[in-house]
Amino acid sequence: MLLELRYVTKEYPLRSRRKSLFKPNPRLKAVNQINLTIKKGESVGLVGESGSGKSTLAKLIMKMESVTSGQILLNGQPIHGRQINDVKMYKQMQLVLQDSSSSLHPKMQVKEILEEPLRNYFPEEKTVWEVTIRKLLKLVDLDSSFLSRYPHQLSGGQKQRVCIAKALAVQPEIIIFDESIASLDQASQMDIINMLKHIQKKQQLSYLFITHDLKSTQQLCDRVMVMYQGELVETFSRWDSQQLSHPYSRLLFQHLD
Ligand SMILES: Nc1ncnc2c1ncn2[C@@H]1O[C@H](COP(=O)(O)OP(=O)(O)OP(=O)(O)O)[C@@H](O)[C@H]1O
């Protein structure tokens, strides 16, 4: 299994006005006992309303937050421990966020932005960096005229494409998308989804595609999981509302068209 979550829970302390020495501070279970698996080459959607715990889960998987309990394994190795170092982990797993402006350095040209991961992960391949950068741009449907542009000279969709190219530069096994295309218009979203599908097939990549919009998972994902109030309440791979068991999943289906 490429990625496996076993009973993963994340609690945050809740601020309470009255502190008592005798009562434990109240805590919020942002993520509650989540079990999930993603195989090589599989594309999995994670859908849920705002506050259901999706981003917290992404942060736990990317080791940006510590787990309260449970285990996350990448290729069988627990990531929240000393068994796997961060460089090795981020070589296998990359994250693409919604707000691309925060992950693109404003003073770097696209060429430099894409060179950075190659410098970090493939220093011995310096002679082919330039060719690789052009290939990456082509993969995300941008031509080489973009190489010299700065982030402020790109549209939202083009910025997201550069972020995706930056993640692909590392040649990861899995990419986690956290609302990565949510801020784009419908047509750009569809373009990027089709592009991601094409790349995934070509490279046998795995995706965890996190979104509040069920429709965007329909094209891209083999399997969809529904999160509600920190828990995984449903998993389905057939788009048949009759098969759903949780009222929230049924509600999501009602808003599909
Ligand atoms: N650092 C934190 N400290 C305390 N509570 C937090 C923290 N981060 C998230 N939470 C809480 O955890 C819950 C889940 O938040 P999370 O951001 O994971 O939801 P989400 O499903 O990604 O929502 P959205 O779609 O709006 O981004 C929310 O109630 C949120 O307020």
pLDDT in tens, 10-27: 999 887 666 666 677 778
The atom number, within ligand 1, closest to the CA of 53 reads: 18
Write down the pTM of the prediction.
0.92
Residue 159 contacts residue 104 (beta carbons within 8 Å): yes
Give the mutation target among 15, 31, 55, 232 for probing the ligand 1 site: most ligand atoms within 8 A of CB. 55
Q: How far does residue 210's CA lie from ligand 1's centre (Å)? A: 14
Q: Is the CB of 189 under 6 A from ligand 1?
A: no
Q: Evaluate whether residue 123 is within a structural domain.
A: no
For 123-136, the pLDDT digits (tens) are: 999 999 999 999 99
Secondary element (H or E) of residue 52: none
What does 131-161 look like in DSSP terms, one character per residue? HHHHHHHHHTT--GGGGG--GGGS-HHHHHH
Domain-located, residue 50: yes
Q: Establish whether residue 56 lines the binding site of ligand 1, counting it when its CB lies within 6 angstroms of any ligand atom.
A: yes
Q: Which ipTM score applies to this complex?
A: 0.95
Query: Which contacts qualify for 54-60: CB closer than 8 Å, 24 or more apart?
Result: 54/178, 54/210, 54/212, 54/227, 55/178, 55/179, 55/210, 56/10, 56/30, 56/31, 57/5, 57/8, 57/10, 57/31, 57/210, 57/227, 58/95, 58/176, 58/178, 58/208, 58/210, 60/8, 60/10, 60/31
Question: Does ligand 1 have an atom closer than 6 angstroms to the CB of 161?
Answer: no
48 lines ligand 1 (CB under 6 A): yes
Strands 223-228 and 43-48: parallel
Q: Is the CB of 50 under 6 A from ligand 1?
A: yes
- The answer to the question of residue 166 being in a domain is no
Structural domains counted in the chain: 1
Any domain includes 90: yes
Which of 31, 52, 68, 252 most suits a substitution to test ligand 1, by most atoms within 8 Å of the C-beta?
52
Domain contains 117? no
CATH number at residue 95: 3.40.50.300
How much is the pLDDT for 27? 84
**142 belongs to a structural domain:** no
Residue ranges of the chain with pLDDT lower than 70? 16-22, 82-83, 100, 257
| 147 domain residue, yes or no | no
Query: For residue 60, is it within any domain?
Result: yes
Residue 230 Cα to ligand 1 middle (Å): 9
In the reported structure, the alpha carbon of residue 55 is separated from the centroid of ligand 1 by a whole-number distance in angstroms of 7
pLDDT at 81: 76
Range of the domain at 46: 3-11+26-104+172-254
